[in-house]
Structure 1
Amino acid sequence: MARPKKPPTTIPRRQLGRYLRDMRQEAGLSIQNAARLIERGTGTLQRLEKGEAGRIRFLDIQALCQVYGTTDKYPALEELAKAAASNDGEGLWWHEYSDAIRADFELYVSLESSASKLTIFRPDILSGLFQKASYARALDRLYYPAANEDELDQRWNVRVNRQRIITRRRTPVQVDLLLDETVLRRVVGDAWTMTNQLHHLADLPANVTVQVLPFTSGYPLGVAPGPFTVLEFDRVTGEKPTVYVEGYRGNMYYDKPEAVTQYRDTFSRLEAQAMSPADSKQALRRIAREYEQ
């Protein structure tokens, strides 16, 4: 039997957990003592502070406010807890595709959907956020050889829903996308697939800036940093900038300021060696024509 997924760690859940953790620390209580005082297990309070609680109990929030001497904050926390609790299946499109999203990728999808800006470097393969159907299906047929057409449709629908943050009318996400030339040259599917995909990249809306790092730039860092995404959020969310590093065996998240700064600086150094946005669009269309021949 498959192990059940953890409840989704979404922005409201993480916000609630952060407030509760800060209140506990300001009260000078360990997590063990705080849990004992409200007659709950240490693990239960840990999951609540991490935004991973299976069930959010309002009585627990109220009891914690009393223990921490912050009962004046309870009304606001109650509203946040309601928003967090409502994430148990309503209003989050990715819940419909739980079988098609890896458990360790669900957090990223949640963060991506709430981000105000994405800074993406891809040296290897195009992110699902920009894939056309033929490109995506060519990859999925290889990665999931036993998948039937319905399952492949589910995986494509996940990408369709993710891509709405780029094309939505109100506050579309701002994206700085930097692609190594390898992404344009390594064939996925067939020549038609590549032609279609590269034209799509050249025609992305104005909120997406695409630049190409050419082969002639060599290794600007003296090392290959691998793919990464820096996610940034509006201040109202309370969410800290986060770096997402995708790996074959699992994903990593970094939100310490020094880590975020390092990846921002890395992107800037790579970007300085890339083609301009205008030249990159020309390169995309030129290489697309090469596939047409």
Structure 2
Amino acid sequence: MNPTAVKRWIGLELKRLREAAGHDRAAAAERIGKATTVIAHIETARNLPAPADLELLLDFYGAPDLIPVFREMVRRGKRGKDWWIKFNEAVPEFLNIFLGLETGAARISSADINVVPGLFQTRDYAFTIHNMFGKRFGRRLSDEEIEAKVDLRMTRQATVVERSEDAPQIWSILDEGALRRQVGGPAIMRAQLERLAQLTERPNVDIQVLPFTEGAHLAIDGTFTIFDYPSEFVGDPGTVYIETRTGGEYYERPDQVRDFRNAFERLQGQAENPDRSRDFILSLAKEMV
């Protein structure tokens, strides 16, 4: 179980319990005899709570029966290290939480309208994407920096999509435009499309193509990803992630996540089914000459 995802769940649940009990952060901090920043750091997944503080807080929130559950989750949150630490220089700050949630997810549902998602990209396609958008953070990246980011992306695929145990179920909806847009030219694009077709043979991957014939498909305003977590994350509504030019935005309120789920389900109904989508992808690959 990914430690970043565990810390996020603990923080969100403690915040939810505090608010349900009608306490603010100052009151919670006073109860454990510490600064308000200690509560803030716990609730924002920066730190794990100390065992003694955890018990006091859960009792203060009227949920002492949850102490054993939280104890176990804290124990799991202390185990292991995030796999991307060795890629530290290639990981912008905003991406740390994303990688943790992605690695810890039991199901990943995504809709992409511009490019093939990172979990499915070939190395050449990923290099071209990073080279094209290298100025996003104000300067052109060197080839060495791009290679580091591509290495990170390839490791993401091995860690998330291709891992042998507990791999998440991944359901991807791709707009036809993302498949026809020639990133890097016909040869790179053909290899990318063939890679997508290969991925559909994996038991944990489903891909649907949203064809141009569906028109504007109002269910989608842009690219988004929904993370759902293992059953141990009791009561977790999931997380929606939207990437922006300068970072990423996360939506975790139940009503927000529900809205994106409804949008995703509408897209599933509009898109070609997985079998027809695979045939469509292979036909496009043959056109890339």
TM-score bracket for this pair, using the shorter chain length: 0.7 to 0.9
Alignment of 1:125 with 2:154, yes or no, is: no
Query: For residues 232 and 69 of structure 1, do their structure 2 counterparts lie closer, same or farther at Cα, with a shift above 3 Å needed?
Result: closer
The residue that corresponds to 1:84 in the other structure is 77
Q: Structure 1 residues 21, 262: closer, same or farther in 2, change over 3 A?
A: closer
For 1:84, the aligned partner's letter is G
Equivalent position of 1:228 in the other structure: 224
Q: 1:271 to 1:27 in 2, by over 3 A?
A: closer
Per-residue deviation, 1:194: 0.2
The residue that corresponds to 2:9 in the other structure is 15
Q: Does 1:45 align with 2:42?
A: no
* C-alpha spacing 1:19/1:187, structure 2 compared with 1 (3 Å): closer
The one-letter code matched in structure 1 to 2:180 is: R
Distance (Å, rounded) in 1 between the aligned partners of 2:19 and 2:226:
28
- Corresponding residue number in structure 2 for 1:213: 210
Match of 2:260 among 251, 257, 263: 263
Contact 1:211-1:277 at 8 Å conserved across structures: yes
Equivalent in 156, 160, 163 of residue 162 of structure 1: 156
The answer on 1:115 being equivalent to 2:105 is yes
1:241 alignment partner in structure 2: 238
**Distance of 1:27 and 1:283 partners within structure 2:** 53
Equivalent-residue separation in structure 2 for 1:258 and 1:24 (angstroms): 19
> What's the counterpart of residue 3 of structure 1?
none
Superposition map of 1:163-202 within 5 A: 163-164=157-158, 165-202=160-197
User: Is 1:251 the equivalent of 2:245?
Assistant: no
Please list the CA deviations of residues 44-76 of structure 1 after superposition, one character each: whole Å capped at 9, or x if unmatched. Answer: 2111122123x7544544554676687786565
The answer to whether the 8 Å contact 2:3/2:82 transfers is no
Describe the SS at the equivalent of 2:270.
coil
Equivalenced residue count is 280
- Aligned counterparts of 1:201 and 1:11: Cα–Cα separation in 2: 28
2:220 & 2:68 partners in 1: Cα distance?
Answer: 49
Contact 2:220 2:263 in 1 (8 A): no
Q: Distance in 1 between matches of 2:22 and 2:264?
A: 40
Structure 1 residue 125: deviation in Å? Answer: 0.9
SS class of match (1:252):
strand
Following TM superposition, by how much is the alpha carbon of 1:97 offset from its aligned partner in structure 2, in angstroms? 1.7
2:88 partner amino acid? S
How much has 1:28 moved relative to structure 2?
5.2
Relative to 1, partners in 2 of residues 1:190 and 1:79: Cα closer, same or farther, differing over 3 Å? same
Comparing 116-125 with 60-69, greater Cα deviation is found at 60-69
- CA root-mean-square deviation: 2.7
**Hey, what's the Cα distance between the residues in 2 that align with 1:169 and 1:199?**
22
TM-fit CA distance, 1:201: 0.3
- Offset at residue 116 of structure 1 (A): 1.1
CA distance in 2, matches of 1:147, 1:22: 41
* Partner residue in 2 for 1:97: 87
Aligned-pair CA distance for 1:190: 1.7
Query: Offset of 1:192 from its aligned partner?
Result: 0.9
Consecutive unaligned residues of structure 1, counting only runs of 5 or more, are: 1-7
Matches within 5 A, 1:138-149: 138-144=128-134, 146-149=140-143
Name the CA distance, whole Å, in 1 between partners of 2:255 and 2:176: 29
TM-score by length of 2: 0.85
Change (3 A) 1:126 1:28: same
Aligned amino acid, residue 162 of structure 1: R
Structure number with larger C-alpha Rg: 1
1:169, distance to aligned residue in structure 2 (A): 1.9
Please say if residues 3 and 81 of structure 2, whose CA atoms lie closer than 8 Å, have aligned partners that are also in contact: no
